[in-house]
Structure 1
Amino acid sequence: MSSLRASAMFLLAFFLSVLIEIAHGQRTTKAPSRWIDGKAIDQGMAYFLMLVALLVTFLVH
């Protein structure tokens, strides 16, 4: 059970660090008017789903 708690804490720390990095990002004046990149969102969702699949595989095994 402690390994489950450790992996959950690691994932929480990882996601919080990513959110903190996004929050401290600076927007430059040369940024295009459409600053939401669909490709980056798709890649982020893919990484998230891979982590979920890894966690489920770890728990089932």
Structure 2
Amino acid sequence: MEMLRTCFVMITIALVFSLLLPSANAAQVPAPAPSPSSDGVSVDQGIAYVLMLVALAVTYIFH
């Protein structure tokens, strides 16, 4: 009788762990971050080109 009760307890504990642990592991895995759409280099380069064109136009006008 004691062996049957011990076996039942062990099966119950194994069942509880098998149901709870996969969800706990899945909850701990973070989702991958999305890649940045722009790192700012292209924006900085565009601003630099505009400023150079403005400087060229101002130099041409006053020359």
TM superposition score normalised by structure 2:
0.43
If each structure's helix is expressed as a fraction of its own residues, which one has the higher value?
A: 2
TM superposition score normalised by structure 1:
0.44
